[in-house]
Amino acid sequence: MKKSILLSFFCVAMLLLHAQQRPNVLILYADDLGYGDLSCYGAQHISTPRIDWLAENGLRFTNAHCTGSTCTPSRFSILSGRYAWRKKGTNILPGNANLTIPTDITTLPKVFQHAGYTTAVVGKWHLGLGDTFPIDWNKEVTPGPKEVGFDYSFIFPATADRTPTVFMENGTILGLDSLDPIQVNYKHAYPGELTGKNHPEMLKIKSSQGHDGHIVNGIGRIGFMEGGKRAEWTDEELGYTFNTKAIDFIDQSLQEKKPFFLYYAIHNIHVPRMPGTAFKGKSQLGYRGDAILEMNHSVGVILDALKDRGLLENTIIIFSSDNGPVLDDGYFDNSAETAAKLGYKPAGIYRGGKYSALEGGTRIPFIVYWPKHVKPNTVSNALFTQVDLMASFAKMLHEKLPLNEFTDSRDYFTTMIGKSDRDRNYIIEQPENMALCIVKDGWKYLTPANGPAILPGVNIESGISQEDQLYNLKNDPRELHNLARAYPQKVAELKKLLEKTKAE
């Protein structure tokens, strides 16, 4: 009897010890950061020492991918463990769209919750909110991050260039004056609303295309908004505000004595690039470069906070991006001009970038830091995709994904922490025009489509062709030599696999 009591005490103690030792997990998810935008990935003309530190003390991937070359699909996939192209309405969303992630499925944050973690999202959301249209922004908007699995959320709803230009904390707009209720639409300006189209003289940064709606902080946005004057953000404070909220959440988790999962969706370096005043003009690369410096600083602030709290040793930190780079994404901020002058290549050696089907679209920086288990200063050339984070972390946490639930997520945990160099068996890349690409064993097949070779406005190579395209990425990483005619069997094999996956 006595023995069995002792034994159960021992088991409980072991369980507690195990619970205490479970690593915190922090995903630092940058916006529109290209493969060539960090000095640890070979960037010239810009220096990112705080992010480089993660690579020097961790594992840097050369062949890791987000699932889409735009924001919403990649974010949908990383959180839900599903390819976004399986679901309608998951392309770049307006700021008044409804929640795209079903609330009844297993998600990455729910896996952590189930394992006893406290979970949070801080930063950019861009996955829609609520389930009624139009959204009533003046009360708690639900479902949202909470129903997706985040205990705490401090977000902006869509992008910094889309209305509503407000913060939301746990579903409610921060600082909203009830006498000045908010309305949002994407069709027409409200009576008396100042827009970039009608008041260009009010703008401190001009739109090169598409951002001529609601004006806040001297910047025209996409969409319109009425009311909420006191709740609107100042762009220069976005970095500071999100850093502060991220650290507050970390402190909260310490108080709760729970390990944390924090998905910090950094707003930089998406447009409008309007970094904190201390960073303006500090790079040679216009506001885009300044935004990279601010992002590097934000990472440093979070690293320092973890170190001060003694958490750095037992926190897995992943740094990555949601899609490839773009220089002019709709504002004249001197980024395209400075890059052209200096020969700066934000996608590194790869062609294409944001929106495109070429490798620059989805091949992104991916760094894993975990001092206890990941060898410092190592490089992995394994094929890896962000859609696998859910199953990989489930494996780490000994959590079982429900067998009767479909997911695209697969366990590549050992690859993720550098204990193996096993490639993902194949990945699917989603460009903006939805003509999917598939990559397997170094071969990449691009589905034929109609459209321009160079995307107008952003001046990015789309990768679009009316013909089948097949590239051998190992010999031809720049996708210059179309081998589709020379290897018809390879084309057929990859096409078949793509169709089979689509039909799953």
User: Rule CB under 5 A: which residues touch Ca ion?
Assistant: 31-32, 71, 322-323
Residue placing its CB nearer to Ca ion in the complex, 23 or 239 = 239
140-158 burial by CB neighbour count: b if 16+ within 10 A, else e?
A: ebbbbbbbbbbbbbbbbbb
Residue placing its CB nearer to ligand NG6 in the complex, 210 or 451 = 210
Torsion sign, CA atoms 74, 80, 86, 88: negative
Q: Rule CB under 6 A: choose which of 222, 316, 339, 455 binds ligand NG6.
A: 222
Which x/- pattern, by CB under 6 A, does the window 131-160 give for ligand NG6?
----------------------------x-
Residue placing its CB nearer to Ca ion in the complex, 71 or 79 = 71
Got the DSSP string for 139-187?
S---SSHHHHT-SEEEEESS-TTBS--B-EETTEETT--TTS--EEESS
32 binds ligand NG6 (CB under 6 A): yes
Of the candidates 126, 133, 117, the one whose C-alpha atom is nearest the C-alpha of residue 156 is 126
Residue 303 CB, shortest distance to Ca ion, in Å, is 23
Which x/- pattern, by CB under 6 A, does the window 307-336 give for ligand NG6?
----------------x-----xx------
Q: Which residues contact 104 (CB under 8 A, 6 or more apart)?
A: none
Residue placing its CB nearer to Ca ion in the complex, 74 or 315 = 74
Among ligand NG6, Ca ion, none, what does residue 329 contact (CB within 5–8 Å per kind)? ligand NG6
270 binds ligand NG6 (CB under 6 A): yes
Cβ atoms of 239 and 297 closer than 8 Å: yes
Residue placing its CB nearer to Ca ion in the complex, 259 or 324 = 324
Q: Which residues contact 204 (CB under 8 A, 6 or more apart)?
A: 217, 218, 219
Site for ligand NG6 in 61-90 (CB under 6 A): 70-71
Cβ atoms of 467 and 484 closer than 8 Å: yes
60 forms beta bridges with: 367, 379
Of the candidates 330, 263, 320, 331, the one whose C-alpha atom is nearest the C-alpha of residue 295 is 320
Residue 354 CB, shortest distance to Ca ion, in Å, is 7
Residue 211 CB, shortest distance to ligand NG6, in Å, is 6
Which x/- pattern, by CB under 6 A, does the window 430-469 give for ligand NG6?
---------------------------x------------
Residue 430 CB, shortest distance to ligand NG6, in Å, is 12
Among Ca ion, ligand NG6, none, what does residue 161 contact (CB within 5–8 Å per kind)? ligand NG6
Residue placing its CB nearer to ligand NG6 in the complex, 159 or 447 = 159
Residue placing its CB nearer to ligand NG6 in the complex, 211 or 288 = 211
Residue 16 CB, shortest distance to ligand NG6, in Å, is 42
Retrieve residue 26's tokens. Answer: 């922090």
Retrieve residue 437's tokens. Answer: 């690409």
Check residue 348 and give left, alpha or beta (phi > 0: left; psi -120 to 50: alpha).
left
Q: How far apart are the C-alpha atoms of 439 and 427, rounded to whole Å?
A: 5
Residue 203 CB, shortest distance to ligand NG6, in Å, is 15
SS3 assignment for 68-103: ECCHHHHHHHHHHCCCHHHCCCCCCCCCCCCCCCCC
Which x/- pattern, by CB under 6 A, does the window 110-129 give for ligand NG6?
----------------x---
Write phi, then psi, for 469 (nearest 5 degrees). -125, 140
Among ligand NG6, Ca ion, none, what does residue 330 contact (CB within 5–8 Å per kind)? ligand NG6
Binding residues for ligand NG6 (CB under 6 A): 31-32, 70-71, 92, 126, 159, 161, 209-211, 222, 270-271, 323, 329-330, 457
